[in-house]
Each structure stands twice: as structure tokens, then as C-alpha cells.
């Protein structure tokens, strides 16, 4: 049984050319002219691109007293509907819990996934057990990324000594640390002050987490990574201060990566000034939406390469769940959705406006992510031998985003009413057509776990700190007599 995608233009991170793509056994087996097969998918007028990879989702995650409402079934169905063919979710041990035990829980949740997936492991506490289990996570379980929260004080937050220890362990194991960079101590104090002053609405969520809070933590995480001799990946980079820290570190030779979200690129802080409490609360996430200057900085970073990846941090809560925070903004579950809309929104606001080329679009939605997370070219590539995770993209197809027609399980959409032009004609997951002209043909349980090997390149920073972890004692011939 073979499938041929015919008559389209292949767009990869570095090439644009006309060719057909032949698929067998879930893999790309041939790329060329006039190919034939048992099943033909017409790609006339379309771009044939690597399926999107969302490196940052929270499906069915226990958080702030509840669970995020999209699970691996609805979440991956939403992903495929929007042209995304792989998600990377976070296994989240509760403080004190074994990493391996948490991973088993996430393995069980993911059995209904419609597309392939991988996991990052979160480090939510530190001790000998965590230190030891990290090795098994990397060597046996195929997970080479560890997430650290510098915010959520009293819950998920780790402090600097824990982060430094974990980053050094990552460097030893060939793993990449990820960081949620916000200063959790400052946030906690600002939250308490705002509440004491009677500022309890969702807009106060944004006041409690200004860009400085993110800039400070991003700088700190980068410096700690430098001293630990590890690279570092900053999740949901939302502001110029954080972007600046990433740019500077990269210019000095460090492997530092930044990940803007589609929400931060296209929605701004005025959303929190909406008189409708529900409207504002539905958009509460951390970091909060910023102003236009910060958005311009993020777009420029994607174009120039100082920011490499666009994600969603998909963490969907219903209006009912958001209302847990009526009268106290600190209890509004943090998170927004975006899995279905990331690719069409980025195409519409990036490619159609001329901010990004088509090749840059592929790089930031797929190829760069596969390379940074070490699953390229199995994922993120249109190459012979790669998995046939492919989106046949129709640049003329339009729709108005609406909760009524979305795949996500929640009752609203933060992009409600936005017109997008550029949508999948077909989405294929390992060769199987999951979306055809907006018709859902997903198969529950089709998704497989993607193992990611440790990095083989030296995880060395190039700064003057590089000997910090291997200090050399100075040999002295004698000790001066006192008073000399
Ligand atoms: N931010 C959110 O808004 N939700 C989930 C976790 C996070 O860091
Ligand atoms: Zn400590
Ligand atoms: Zn986060
Ligand atoms: Zn997140």
C-alpha cells in the first residue's frame, strides 16, 4: 500500500521546489517527478511541508486545584486539525514523587493520542533520588529534556541551588534543561500587595508579572546554565528583556534557545482591560500578554534567528474552571489553548504579512524544534526515510476561528473571530490521513511515543566560566611567614 502526494510544491526549512512525495509503511520512500501509488492525494496549488511540532503542551495536567481540560485525545485531534503532527508534553512529578512513577502516569494518559508525542520531564524538587532517576530517564526512557519552574512559589518552583544542581546533571547526561523564567519570589510579593489593595480582577494577574520579572529570571537561568556548562532552552519567551538576554548569550557562543508562543505574538495586554471578567480571565496565562513593542521584538527574533521556535503552551481551562478565581486573580487557573490555531495564525500573521518567509515558517514550527529536541530527521523533515508526518497546506483556504467549530474540549477560543487564510488540505500522521479538507479522520491510539537520544555534541558554554566545574588548585612553594 503506497500513497502519493501529487502536484504540490515542497517547502522545507531551506528549499522550495515542485515534486511528488511517495509514502510506504508510514515513511517517505521517494521524492521526485510523476510518481504513482495506490492512493493519490491531490496537492495542486498547495505547499507540502513537514507537519508542525508543538514543543510545549500541557494535556490533562493537574494544576492549580484542577486538571487542564484537553486530554491526549482531544488535544492531539486539535493539533492535527491545524496541521500539527507531534506534541511534546510535560510529565510533572508532584514534589517528592519519583520521576519514573510520574512518567508511568503520563504514559497511561497518552495511550489515546491521535498523533506522535514525546515528553519533557519536570524537575519539581531535588534530592539524591531525582539525581539518580535522571539517568534512567535519559538512558532508558528516551527523554533528553528537563523542565524547571522559577515561578509558582510553594508549588512547582525550584530555587537556584536546585536549578544549578540539575543543570550540572543535565550537562553530564547530555540533556537539555528547559526553564519557565519568571522570578517567583517577586511575583508572590506583588500578588499579595495587589490583593491587599483590593486589586483582585484578572488584570492584576498581568500587573503581578511585568516583563522585568521575566527578564531577571531569564538572565539568571542563562548565567546558571553557563556556570553549569549546559545549554538552556527558555520556554514561552514573551518580552524584549528576555529576548535580549537570549540574544546576548547566543552572541557570546552559548547554546541558548527562545520559544515565543503564538498567543504572545498575536494577542496583547489590552485583552485584560476587557470589562467582561470571563473574557479577561480566559486569557490569564503566565507570562501574561504584553504590549506591541514586545510583540515586535518577538517577531524580529524569529526572522533573525535569535528566537528559534513557536509553541502554544496549550493548557486549556473551561470558563467554569477559570471562575475558581472570581474575587482572587491568583486562583484563576493559568493557561490558554492554541494547538489547533498555531499554524494558521502564524501563517496568517507571519507569512501573509511578509514578516516570515515560508521556509522560516517551516523552521520555527517544525524543523528547528526537531533539531533542538534531537528527533531530526525522523521528524521535521521532508526527506527519504523520514516519518511521513506531512501537512498539505492550502494557502487560499480561509476560515473564521470559532469555539463552536473547534476540536478543543473547552467552551471558548482566545482567537475567536480572527480570520485565518492558510489551512491544511490534508494532515498525515505517519502516512495516515487524519484531516481531509476539514473532515476529521483521526484514529485514537494511532500516536506513538518518540524516543529522543541524549545529545552527542559537547554541552559546553564558551564563556569565561567554563572551568568553574573543574577548578584547579594553585601549587605554591611556601606559605609566607606572618608579618612579612
Ligand atoms: N503557564 C501557564 O499559563 N499555564 C501552564 C503553565 C505555565 O507556565
Ligand atoms: Zn535550596
Ligand atoms: Zn511555563
Ligand atoms: Zn507550560
Q: Please tell me the predicted confidence (pLDDT) of residue 476.
A: 85
58 lines ligand 1 (CB under 6 A): yes
pLDDT digits 0-9 by tens, 252-284 = 888 999 999 999 999 999 999 999 999 999 999
pLDDT score recorded for residue 467 = 58
DSSP of 428-480: EETTEEEEETTEE---TT---B---PPP-S-----STTTTTTS--PPP-S--P
From 317, 446, 457, select the one nearest 387 (Cα to Cα): 446
Residue minimizing CA distance to atom 1 of ligand 1:
286
pLDDT over 70 (residue 468): no
169: number of Cβ within 10 Å: 22
**CA 162–ligand 2 middle distance (angstroms):** 6
**Atom 4 of ligand 1 has which residue's CA nearest to it?**
335
pLDDT at 108: 98
Residue 481: pLDDT band with limits 50, 70, 90: confident
> Average pLDDT in the 281-296 region?
98
**Nearest residue to 60 (alpha-carbon basis) of 107, 130, 121:** 107
Residue 89 has pLDDT above 90, yes or no: yes
Task: Please give the number of the atom of ligand 1 that sits closest to the Cα of 151.
Answer: 8
Q: Is the pLDDT of residue 35 over 90?
A: yes
Say what the pLDDT of residue 463 is.
55
Quick one: pLDDT at residue 461? 53
Complex confidence, ipTM: 0.91
d(CA 252, CA 312): 28
* Mean pLDDT calculated for residue range 50-54: 99
In the predicted model, what is the mean pLDDT of residues 26-36? 98
Q: What does the pLDDT look like over 425-465, one tens digit per residue? A: 999 999 999 999 999 999 999 999 999 999 876 555 545 55
For residues 261 and 235, give the distance between their C-alpha atoms in angstroms, rounded to a whole number.
9
* Mean pLDDT, all residues of the chain: 95
Task: Determine the average pLDDT of the residues in 182-197.
Answer: 98
Rounded CA separation 179/442 (Å): 33
Q: Which helix (H) or strand (E) holds 46?
A: none
Mean pLDDT throughout 220-249?
96
Cell matching residue 267: 494577542
How confident is the model over 331-354, as a mean pLDDT?
A: 98
360 within ligand 1 shell (Cβ under 6 A): no
Could you tell me where the beta strands, DSSP code E, fall in 46-191?
47-50, 52-57, 62-63, 66-67, 84-91, 116-122, 145-149, 176-180
Query: Given this model, what pLDDT does residue 185 score?
Result: 98
Q: Residue 402's pLDDT is what?
A: 98
Which ligand ends up closest to the CA of 336? 1
Contact (CB, 8 A) for 100 and 140? no
pLDDT exceeds cutoff 70 at 56: yes
Q: Determine the pLDDT at residue 87.
A: 98
Strand-pairing partners, residue 27, are 24, 387
Amino acid at each position: 500500500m503506497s500513497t502519493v502526494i501529487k502536484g504540490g510544491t515542497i517547502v522545507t526549512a531551506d528549499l522550495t521546489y515542485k515534486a511528488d512525495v511517495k509514502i510506504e509503511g508510514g515513511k517517505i520512500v521517494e521524492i521526485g517527478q510523476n510518481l504513482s501509488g495506490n492512493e493519490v492525494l491531490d496537492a495542486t496549488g498547495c505547499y507540502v511541508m513537514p507537519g508542525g511540532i508543538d514543543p510545549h503542551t500541557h494535556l490533562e495536567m493537574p494544576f492549580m486545584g484542577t486538571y487542564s481540560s484537553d486530554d491526549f485525545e482531544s488535544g492531539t485531534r486539535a493539533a492535527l486539525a491545524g496541521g500539527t503532527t507531534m506534541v511534546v508534553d510535560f510529565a510533572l512529578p508532584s514534589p517528592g514523587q519519583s520521576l519514573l512513577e510520574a512518567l508511568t502516569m503520563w504514559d497511561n494518559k497518552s495511550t489515546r493520542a491521535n498523533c506522535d508525542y514525546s515528553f519533557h520531564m519536570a524537575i519539581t524538587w531535588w534530592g539524591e533520588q531525582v539525581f539518580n532517576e535522571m539517568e534512567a530517564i535519559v538512558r532508558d526512557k528516551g527523554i533528553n529534556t528537563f523542565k524547571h519552574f522559577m515561578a509558582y512559589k510553594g508549588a512547582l518552583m525550584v530555587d537556584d541551588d536546585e536549578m544549578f544542581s540539575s543543570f550540572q546533571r543535565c550537562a553530564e547526561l547530555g540533556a537539555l534543561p528547559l526553564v519557565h523564567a519568571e522570578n517567583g519570589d517577586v511575583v508572590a510579593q506583588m500578588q499579595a500587595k495587589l490583593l491587599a489593595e483590593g486589586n483582585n480582577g484578572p488584570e492584576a494577574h498581568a500587573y503581578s508579572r511585568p516583563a522585568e520579572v521575566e527578564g531577571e529570571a531569564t538572565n539568571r537561568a542563562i548565567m546558571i546554565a553557563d556556570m553549569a556548562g549546559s545549554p538552556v532552552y527558555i520556554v514561552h519567551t514573551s518580552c524584549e528583556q528576555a529576548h535580549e538576554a537570549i540574544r546576548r548569550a547566543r552572541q557570546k557562543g552559548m547554546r541558548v534557545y527562545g520559544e515565543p508562543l503564538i498567543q504572545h505574538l498575536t494577542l496583547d495586554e489590552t485583552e485584560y482591560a476587557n470589562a467582561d471578567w470571563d473574557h479577561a480571565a480566559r486569557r490569564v496565562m503566565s507570562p501574561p500578554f504584553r504590549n506591541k513593542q514586545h510583540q515586535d521584538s518577538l517577531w524580529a527574533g524569529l526572522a533573525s534567528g535569535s528566537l528559534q521556535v513557536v509553541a502554544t503552551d496549550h493548557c486549556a481551562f473551561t470558563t467554569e474552571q477559570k471562575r475558581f478565581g472570581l474575587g482572587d486573580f491568583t486562583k484563576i487557573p493559568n493557561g490558554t489553548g492554541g494547538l489547533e490555531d498555531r499554524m494558521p495564525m502564524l501563517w496568517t500573521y507571519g507569512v501573509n504579512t511578509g514578516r516570515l518567509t515560508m521556509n522560516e515558517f517551516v523552521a520555527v514550527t517544525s524543523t528547528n524544534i526537531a533539531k533542538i529536541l534531537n528527533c531530526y530527521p525522523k521528524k521535521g523533515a521532508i526527506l527519504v526515510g523520514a516519518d511521513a508526518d506531512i501537512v498539505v497546506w492550502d494557502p487560499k483556504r480561509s476560515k473564521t476561528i470559532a469555539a463552536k467549530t473547534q476540536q478543543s474540549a473547552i467552551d471558548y477560543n482566545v482567537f475567536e473571530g480572527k480570520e485565518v487564510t492558510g489551512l491544511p488540505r490534508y494532515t498525515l500522521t505517519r502516512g495516515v490521513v487524519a484531516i481531509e479538507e476539514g473532515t476529521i479522520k483521526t484514529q485514537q491510539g494511532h500516536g506513538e511515543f518518540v524516543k529522543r537520544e541524549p545529545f552527542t555534541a559537547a554541552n559546553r558554554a564558551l564563556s569565561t566560566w567554563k572551568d568553574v566545574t573543574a577548578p584547579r588548585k594553585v601549587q605554591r612553594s611556601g606559605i609566607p611567614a606572618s608579618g612579612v
